[in-house]
Amino acid sequence: MIETSVWTVFIAALITALATGLGALPFLFVRNLTRRWEAIGNAIAAGLMIAASIGLVKSGIELSVLRTLIGIGLGAIFMFYSHKLVHAREDLTIGELTGADARKALVIVGVMTMHSAAEGIGVGVSFGGGEDLGVLMTIAIAIHNVPEGLAISLVLVPRGVSVLMAAWWSVFSSLPQPILAIPAFIFVWFFQPLLPVGLGLAAGAMFWMTFSEMIPEARQEVSWMAVISAVGGAVLAMAGLGWAVGGL
């Protein structure tokens, strides 16, 4: 019975990871973006990440306010020092990307991978509370992963990454979900206390990324009104998606 349950958890978490790759599909129809639309894309990606961060904080606070706040602080500190380390590397390359583009790609994929680790623990812990809860959590995370894949693609594709590779990096960023879901399911008693820290840490990293890099970068090309509209629209869209998923 436990073997079947473990495979169920693994497959469920794998589905959530693969769903992230669907976020790259819009770029099959839109290839060449002007600098203005690249900036708008950055702002939309920032809005998607802000909305996801708010959702993570809300989920974490429901478990533990203190541990969630500790996680947020750790996430921001981690991103600050990671940013300094990455930007010190002038010779950094990722695939065909080099220099500033490679650094941006590494940061966005790293942040979303951190986010996915928290979600993977969430899937495993939810299955530990019963299969019905686990299936509901899987559906919710899979649906939310699509715009998260879009956020990654909005940063990568305008910098020359192919749609296929953007989809791959999106799925890659979500691989912690099937990897961590199984131990979290088996050792719920151990991972449950860590979940709010993980949720807060991912949220802190994404907050740092959006407000220190993505929004200022978008502002260089378009007006504040355009940035605020794009960010606000993305946040509202994700909030509506969250409401729809919650009503499933």
Reading the chain (248 residues) residue by residue, the pLDDT tens digits are 344 478 888 999 999 999 999 988 888 887 666 778 778 888 888 888 888 888 889 888 988 999 999 999 998 888 888 777 766 666 666 666 666 677 777 777 888 888 888 888 888 888 877 777 778 778 878 887 888 888 888 888 887 788 898 899 999 989 999 999 999 888 888 888 888 998 888 888 888 888 888 898 888 888 899 999 999 998 898 888 777 655 44
pLDDT of residue 227: 92
- pTM value? 0.74
pLDDT of residue 88: 63
For residue 182, the cross-strand partners are: none
The Cα 171–Cα 160 span in angstroms is: 18
pLDDT of residue 119: 84
Total domains in the fold of the chain: 1
- Neighbour count for residue 217 (Cβ, 10 Å): 17
The Cα 61–Cα 73 span in angstroms is: 14
Tokens coding 162? 């192919």
Contact 48, 147 (CB under 8 A): yes
pLDDT of residue 22: 92
Could you list the residue range(s) of the whole structural domain that residue 136 is in? 2-246
pLDDT of residue 14: 92
Label residues 109-129 b or e (16+ Cβ within 10 Å = b).
Answer: bbbbbbbbbbbbbbbbbbbbe
Contact 114, 205 (CB under 8 A): yes
